[in-house]
A and B are shown apart, each in its own frame.
Chain A
């Protein structure tokens, strides 16, 4: 308690709030992010949406008690016009994204209990709009696996990055505070998996993922995945791929093998401006055709915690997962 009070008193005398860092209150930090998105799909309704208004609180007390909670308002259309209304979008949902406690068993081993993001690829774990490459999210980074795990995970991370990081996780039954149907594709009952990541630099890494899951309809899924992030001067390469075997158990799906991959290039033109593009191929279990999309965009970061983006996605084959059209966004980590 003395430490808490000293920390709070000392912290209060300095900058209490910094954009991107949040508000420090002793061992607690309160931060969040927002993402305002204008969508102009070529054949659908146009909209200006508050995609996310998220608040997260991080606590660091001792080795065993380090709670984290994130709640958000998502999927709220502010303005809609033209085209055919999509009644599945836009009414706004309040979600409990994450709620867990970290216990540092050793310097390298952490036990996490609660609701957390599943470590499949890189994008899912850092999915906040100000942190990721583009406003439009490739389908392979979220659509075909359980994004969340409610249960336990053990993470090993060597302090000196001499050996790969790895994480094992397990959800015995159901997602705590399950997300509503209008913003999720599959709802998972049991989940177990592993992720291994080989650090190649501060941000660079190569990872592999495995996830075994059963959804609420009884469909079993075994997923294998890979992800990479590599920097070459001003050029950054990144991508993710997954391959899933679907055991239908009597449930009708269009295919038994679901796969996807995206590969992206970005180039830092200046410290503030960058251009980027990606290609995605995605074979969804519900569609017999494989979607092929390309995206090009430009981003302006007046500071690391804020980004404005303008990008265009073109579907070049298959039934689209992300619609063809223009997207503009303003994302802030606050």
Chain B
């Protein structure tokens, strides 16, 4: 009971703050994830660069990207990962060959939310104008 209320409070805080009105990014995770929020953006970047692979409870992290070319992907790449797309593509291919799975891709916001809601350990992002109650918001990028 406490967890949904906490989520609602957090979303309300985000929605009514000036920052949320500026179309930021919500970093979202599976609702069953137990993690202290907000998760630092440096940790989120480390997750997407495959240098952190487990949540504090030991469960495997499943990072999810939007498709290349989407606005959310561009924003996330620029503001959180702070890398260029070409370099990331090479990097993820190299990591894949070395046994680390690159982020999965979901090609719409609805698909992203459905995946995050259903898959334990998953983490993704959506534009700040569309917060949802059925996923856990773990960070906000103004």
Contacts and interface: CB of A to CB of B under 8 A. Distances in A.
Interface string B72-114: 0000000000010011111101101111111011110001001
Taking each of A3, A100, A158, which has the highest tally of chain B beta carbons within 10 Å of its own beta carbon?
Answer: A3
Interface stretch (B8-16, B18-26, B46-54, B126-134): B46-54
B120 A203 contact: no
Contact of B86 (A7, A104, A271): A271
Contacts of A158: 51
A324 to B, nearest CB: 30
Contacts of A56: 97
A276 to B, nearest CB: 14
Contacts of B88: 202
Nearest to A119: B98
B103 to A, nearest CB: 9
A203 B114 contact: no
Given A7-B62, A271-B86, A131 B105 contact: no
A63 B93 contact: no
Interface residues of A, number: 48
B58 interface: yes
A290 B69 CA distance: 49
Interface residues of B, number: 39
Contacts, number: 107
A161 B121 CA distance: 23
B93 A304 contact: yes
Given A21-B105, A126-B94, A304-B89, A61 B99 contact: no
B118 interface: yes
Contacts of B60: 27, 60-63
Interface string A155-187: 001111100000000000000000000000000
Nearest to A305: B93
Taking each of A14, A20, A61, A203, which has the highest tally of chain B beta carbons within 10 Å of its own beta carbon?
Answer: A14
A27 B101 CA distance: 9
Interface string A74-104: 0000000000000000000000000010101
15 contacts: A9-B118, A10-B115, A10-B118, A15-B107, A22-B96, A56-B97, A58-B101, A100-B99, A107-B52, A125-B98, A126-B98, A161-B51, A203-B87, A304-B86, A305-B93
Task: List the 3 closest pairs (A to B, CB-CB), nearest first.
Answer: A304-B89, A68-B99, A3-B120
Interface of B: 42-43, 46, 49, 51-54, 58-60, 62, 83, 86-91, 93-94, 96-102, 104-107, 111, 114-115, 118-121
